[in-house]
């Protein structure tokens, strides 16, 4: 499709009333792109060393002084940055300095659909400034701003996330030990049993030989690491249980305490659901499903009308937890309306499509749990512990 690059667009008249700044953050360099009143349409670009907060604030002061020299007024600064590995500490520093700061979901910013598109920090910085301008003008759905959690909320999520990491490491060590022994014809050794050390001493290979000396030493070191992981998992779970007990003592109406009262939801699920999603405030059920990445993604154009599945654009930990909980819900809450709906849909499909239906059940269950913990709407047919 031909594009007319020669015509000069009419300048957009915008009453800025502020200095709009975007931050492109990296480990070594922070690129500052700004659009100031009185500077026309040209965006200025400066850089400071990565992590140099004092240098960043000094650059902001210089931008304000230049704008004051041009217009005779002092303008506030409004910043935007992408959510990423830097977390929210820079956002909190700017807010503590009285600067209006925003954190944007980078996937929500419109980009060129060309197969080969240019991408540099300069281009990204200018795109962020334009996005911030549109957002402040009130343009609908121009981007999705991230609601930064408080330091306490962010810290409480560490327990569940650390346990998940430790469990994954435990699986790796168990599989490695089993793989080493299987190559010697041994397939009945369980590294998680309490008598793992004693059983290791009595193992013989498939051809009747004792375990080779170096192999036994290697497995012994793997068991050392495995036992350390088991102790750390116990410590994390004890910390989680202490936190949940403290919450229940404060108020039985807290989301985590209410979740623990339902059959089939234990301490781990209650802690994950609360720390990953239920602590936030949502306006409607669509926001709840979208936050977990369980919102539908239709493809409709003309006569084409098909469903592409869930978006998977939200909190992956919450989404995974809900799908696991959906299977457990069918087992522990078979008389609930949600379980009956699932079985009716499966029967209608001749017993097929269980996996797509379990995702749909996870979405319905998440919304039902949100209504239950926030508005006290009882889940029909659910049994309490």
Are the CB atoms for 260 and 248 separated by under 8 Å? yes
Lowest-pLDDT choice from 5-9, 79-83, 331-335, 349-353: 5-9
Residues 132 and 199 in one domain: no
Residue 103's CATH number: 3.30.420
The last residue of a domain, from among 80, 108, 137: 137
In a domain, 9, yes or no: no
Q: Which domain holds residue 358?
A: 255-375
Domain count, the chain: 3
186 or 40: whose pLDDT is higher? Answer: 186
Residues 306-342: pLDDT tens digits? 888 888 888 999 999 999 999 999 999 999 999 999 9
In a domain, 205, yes or no: yes
- Return the closest-CA partner of residue 217 out of 171, 189, 180: 180
Residues 255-305: pLDDT tens digits? 888 999 999 999 999 999 999 988 888 989 999 999 999 988 888 888 888
Q: Please provide the DSSP assignment of 321-371 as one string.
A: HHHHHHHHHHHH-TTSHHHHHHHHHHHHTTT--HHHHHHHHHHHHHHHHHH
- Return the closest-CA partner of residue 366 out of 241, 307, 280, 267: 280
Residues 265 and 241 in one domain: no
Residues 126 and 165 in one domain: no
pLDDT at 58 over 60: yes
Lowest-pLDDT choice from 27-41, 199-213, 242-256, 343-357: 242-256
In a domain, 37, yes or no: yes
pLDDT at 15: 60
The last residue of a domain, from among 224, 250, 276: 250
In a domain, 261, yes or no: yes
The last residue of a domain, from among 78, 108, 137: 137
Residues 176 and 283 in one domain: no
């Amino acid at each position: 499709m031909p594009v007319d690059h020669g015509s000069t667009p009419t300048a957009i008249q915008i009453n800025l009333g502020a200095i709009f700044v975007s931050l492109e953050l990296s480990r070594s360099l922070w690129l500052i792109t700004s659009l100031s009143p009185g500077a026309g349409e040209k965006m200025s670009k400066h850089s400071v060393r990565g992590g140099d907060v004092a240098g960043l604030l000094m650059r902001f002061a210089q931008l304000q002084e230049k704008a004051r020299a041009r217009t005779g007024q002092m303008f506030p600064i409004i910043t935007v940055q992408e959510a990423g590995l830097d977390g929210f500490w820079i956002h909190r520093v700017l807010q503590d300095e009285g600067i209006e700061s925003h954190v944007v979901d980078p996937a929500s910013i419109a980009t060129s659909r060309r197969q080969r598109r240019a991408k540099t920090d300069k281009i990204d910085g200018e795109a962020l400034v334009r996005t911030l301008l549109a957002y402040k003008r009130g343009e609908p759905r121009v981007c999705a701003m991230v609601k930064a959690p408080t330091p306490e909320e962010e810290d409480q999520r560490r327990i569940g996330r650390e346990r998940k990491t430790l469990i994954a490491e435990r699986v790796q060590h168990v599989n490695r030990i089993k793989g080493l022994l299987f190559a010697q014809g041994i397939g009945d050794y369980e590294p998680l049993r309490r008598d793992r050390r004693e059983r290791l001493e009595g193992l013989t290979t498939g051809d009747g030989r004792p375990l080779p000396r170096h192999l036994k030493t290697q497995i012994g070191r793997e068991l050392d690491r495995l036992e350390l992981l088991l102790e750390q998992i116990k410590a994390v779970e004890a910390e989680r249980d202490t936190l949940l007990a403290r919450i229940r003592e404060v108020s039985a109406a807290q989301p985590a305490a209410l979740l623990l009262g339902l059959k089939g939801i234990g301490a781990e699920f209650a802690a994950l659901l609360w720390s990953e999603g239920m602590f936030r405030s949502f306006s409607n059920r669509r926001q709840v499903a979208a936050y977990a990445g369980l919102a539908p993604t239709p493809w409709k154009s003309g006569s084409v009308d098909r469903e592409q599945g869930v978006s998977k654009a939200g909190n992956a930990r919450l989404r995974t937890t809900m799908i696991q909980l959906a299977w457990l819900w069918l087992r522990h809450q078979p008389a609930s309306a949600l379980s009956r709906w699932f079985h009716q849909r499966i029967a209608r499909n001749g017993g097929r499509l269980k996996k797509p239906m379990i995702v749909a059940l996870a979405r319905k269950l998440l919304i039902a749990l949100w209504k239950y913990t926030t508005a006290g709407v009882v889940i029909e047919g659910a049994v309490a512990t």
